[in-house]
Structure 1
Amino acid sequence: MSHVIRTARFLPLFAAATASLALFPLPSRADAPAVKDVLTTYANIAQAGYEDSLQAARQLKTSVDALINAPTEETLAAARASWVAARVPYMQTEAFRFGNPIVDDWEGKVNSWPLDEGLIDYVAESYGSENPENEFYAADVIANTSLKIAGKTVDTTKITPELIRETLHEAGGVEANVASGYHAVEFLLWGQDLNGTEAGAGKRPATDYDLKACTGGNCDRRAAYLSTVTDMLVEDLEWMAKQWAPNGDARKFATENEKQGLTAVFTGLGSLSYGELAGERMKLGLMIHDPEEEHDCFSDNTHASHYGDALGIRNVYLASYTRTDGSVVSGPSVSDLVKAKSPETDKQVRAALDKTLAKMTALVDRAKKVEAYDQMIGLDNAEGNATVQAAIDALIAQAKEFERAIAALDLKDIKFEGSDSLDNPDKVEEAK
């Protein structure tokens, strides 16, 4: 797998226009909610989203155990379905990233991508055996009971959480050495997608876990790795759900200081809209027409993940989240704050959110009826490219409306994460 070098950039937010504006007071009109109530609702939605993600991960673990205990195409299909279901609540939590350091410091454990899958397991010959930028590119820990890391031989006989967390994950300081999280589980359930921009996802057989009729070799170690990494996902989500519970550190960060909390809210909304989703997850892959740059590349579930991110952004701005069980968590919103200051600005933000969700819905519909996301971004696919670009354009426009909302609230010094694919496309072309 090849990787384009990414550099973090930031989108300035009406710096000149807001330079002389004071942060507070925020809206004093009778119809404006208290900021503390808005931030409490924000934290309640985060807690609910992570709790739903935890529950879905526990169901995934149950399905994984069933696969390992009785590896059949049916139990494999059930485990894959559980993985897809687990992505639904989790992707809606990504709007809580970027502005809250507790979430950002943790997120790399659970959703890092893209990954050099040769670190974990066997890969096709076309993958290659080495990469000058990553000495662990094809380390294949499942097949090897020892690895040489930083000149030292490391015993990998036992596949443990400690081995994965402390030794393998981002080994050598390389971000592509993703050893844990959703995408490690995804790879172990689907295997490589070797179809390029042609139809089809990964086709790992259930017999890769069958101790009596083992394919791929090392079925016992593969099962141990899958079981361990799924346990770790549950453990990590348990931890994060607690951070948003009453007295949790993430909740405290978001609610105990009004300026800090609102900054976290809008940093998350704008950064996910602009640099992360529009840029790194969508525009980059479209520019270089590379299926390896799609987010859920083994399962061909990328369309659903992108939709979940867009929905999560909307949830936060409007302060309404529909839980997995159908119940709704809602309350005073940043939309209410913006509306109290500038009804027209709030109306524009809402319209942008509606347009983004419509373009994402069109992308999902195309994925279900016409072709997968990796085919959409393929070279010489004008219609597919246009569908993806329309969603990118809507996300960029949405980020600009968030800028206007920030200005309406007299907030300052908020920066959105950027992406070379949007800010410096020539760099991307040079790195290809």
Structure 2
Amino acid sequence: MSENGKSDTDLSQGAEDAADFRVNPKSPREAIQPEPVPAPPARSRHVRNPVVVFVNFLLTVAVLGVIAVGVGLYWGKTEFDRQGPLAERKTVIIASGSGLNSIAATLEANGVIDDGLVFKTGVWIYKNAGNLKAGEYAFAPGVSMQEVMKDLVEGKAVYHAVTFPEGWTSAQIVERLRSDPILLGEIEDIPDEGSLLPDTYSFTRGTTRQQIVNQMKRAQDKALTEIWARRSDDLPIKSPEELVILASIVEKETARADERPRVAGVFVNRLNRGMRLQSDPTILYGLHGGNAWKEDRSAIKQSELNADNPYNTYQIAGLPPGPIGNPGRAAMEAVASPSRTKDLYFVADGSGGHSFAETYEQHQRNVRRWREVEREKRAQEAEEAENGGDGQNGTSQ
């Protein structure tokens, strides 16, 4: 043991510890050398797993795909809604049975749209691929694909019209239908007289002539049903068919709306008294049928008056066997609700209207007055003499 109480073993251990902490001086060359960089930490074996790498790849592709789709949709929506290339109004016909591809090609060929693929995609996204309607469409300048699609879905096609005057025969109506350059198809049979309602009918390109006829029949059935239900109770008319017959006569006797109820009242009074109707237009129809008014038949000849004729109301009692034309709604309403008068006669007054009379003597004075007016007109207009228009001279005897 040493003097300070420590053993030789302790002194030896202390000497070794001191040696451990002793700094070994570096040589000048070693002092100027840089310290070595620490090595990077070892990578986890999970990061290098191929499955993780593939999943990361898929996520990246998905994100890029979503971004691409979003950009594409935004661009497509902008293209679909922007002003189109059409510089001036243009009419385009979409044929019946056309599919989306055909419609897009037609629109692009006519300069209505400039990208058929964008149009088809937009229509598909809006779920309207099966809702586009055929027809004739008039597109405004600059119309967008969105507006084009809307017009085709709603069927906003160009409408045409054909008009049939009241009182026309079925033969005249069919002739006008056949001469229309837009309507399609043929009419094999002339419809029954009185079965069509004269009016103006609108239609789109592609409509057939038979479709117009069918539409006129439905309109007549509907109008007649409504009018018959509102008729006066004490009429000498037993059926809707008889109402049409008398209305067709009223229609031919006067073109003035304000006179129809009064003319109808004359015929109703005559039927109630058992008098013959004595209507000139019935003579013409019985002799010439549906072509009775294709020519100027302004006056009834004595030979025509005396000829055998099942429609001649100078020869037969009551109503003729059928209508002499297709009456309009106003004429049928006039027969259903005629004026309440005692009039039994009427004759043209030379001014487009008629003079009415309750007695035969009054009627004869009206006839003489009318003849005087006619003589004055012939004297003043010798070269353009008119003798009562289309033969509607009114009831006289």
TM-score by length of 2: 0.23
Report which of the two structures shows the higher radius of gyration computed on alpha carbons.
2
The structure whose residues are more often helix, as a share, is 1
Q: Which has the higher contact order (CA 8 A, sep 6+)?
A: 1
